[in-house]
Amino acid sequence: MGALTKQPFDVEDYLRLDLFPHFLCPGCGHGIALRALLWAIHELDIDRDRLAFVSGIGCSGRLSAYIDADTFHVTHGRPLAFASGLKLARPEMNVIVITGDGDCLAIGGNHLIHSCRRNLDITCLMLNNEVYGMTGGQGSPTTSLDRYTTTTPLGNHEPAFDACELATAAGAGLVGREVTMQVPSVKDLIKEGISHPGFAFIEIISDCTEIYGRKNDLGSSAEMVLSQKKDILPTYIDVTDVDAVEQPFRPGSWQTGVLSKNERPEYYEAYMDYCRQAGGNSQSRSDDH
């Protein structure tokens, strides 16, 4: 079944409606991210027979079940490992990973680092709501300083992880960040990530109203989403100036859009070239004997 680009975008065309109602809490930002993702796929006119989603454990990991395409729900922290095997076996597929801040950066952190290093043509969407929302509300690697969670009852004292800086340093082909408040921008960033010939890491700042928001008196879902606007780092600030930028994920410290991009060789193509060269060299050594 191909994409339905001859018709205006209707999110229901891309969903498994027989699985509704969905499990997301009222006001969860993950539904906004899912809509932006499907909108991007619609505009790119991707044939759904060449589209595969891989997700891990957590609220974000459940999203793939609702998408009317090939989907894989795998073990905690391992979606990038599964996705790498899928992409290498079926390089013609568009492989998209949907993961969360805990799934991707805690138990799955090592897979993220090496996915960035290899630069295989996979798009990874990390939905960051700063908490383990599905499994009890524990603190995650991106929980802001002083925030309350079930594992930080006195307030979080650990600095938050900047996943985009990690992905950039590890060599990801494209790294970007957006907030769910800006849905067209999220859609455009996802399109750019899917189109980039290499590993694309996109962080989407989401919100967890029921588990995280209530515990920290952050207001309603609408208030939490609107608060993202004040947290976006103005483009005129020099992000290399440590005095101008606060700790990651503190108010006023989110830089959005494409944060880094490089033209490193894509892993599969580079590997196939290597195999061809190695095969030729092997034949030459055999002829010498």
3-state secondary structure string across 55-86: ECCCCHHHHHHHECCEEEECCCCCHHHHHHHH
Per-residue model confidence (pLDDT) at position 284: 54
Per-residue model confidence (pLDDT) at position 7: 82
Which positions ≥6 away from 115 have C-beta within 8 Å?
A: 80, 84, 122, 124, 172, 199
Are 61 and 79 in contact, with CB atoms under 8 Å apart?
Answer: yes
Q: How many helices (DSSP H) and strands (DSSP E) are in the chain?
A: 9, 9
SS3 96: strand
pLDDT by residue for the chain (289 residues), tens only, comes to 444 445 899 999 999 999 899 989 999 999 999 999 999 999 999 999 999 999 999 999 999 999 999 999 999 999 999 999 999 999 999 999 999 999 999 999 999 999 999 999 999 999 999 999 988 999 999 999 999 999 999 999 999 989 999 999 999 999 999 999 999 999 999 999 999 999 999 999 999 999 999 999 999 999 999 888 777 765 544 545 545 444 444 444 678 999 999 999 999 999 999 999 988 665 555 555 5
Query: 257-261 and 131-132 as β-strands: parallel, antiparallel, unpaired?
Result: unpaired
SS3 113: helix
Per-residue model confidence (pLDDT) at position 253: 65
**Domains present along the chain, CATH in parentheses:** 25-288 (3.40.50.970)
Per-residue model confidence (pLDDT) at position 5: 45
Q: Sort residue 146 into left (φ over 0), alpha (ψ -120 to 50) or beta.
A: left
Per-residue model confidence (pLDDT) at position 238: 52
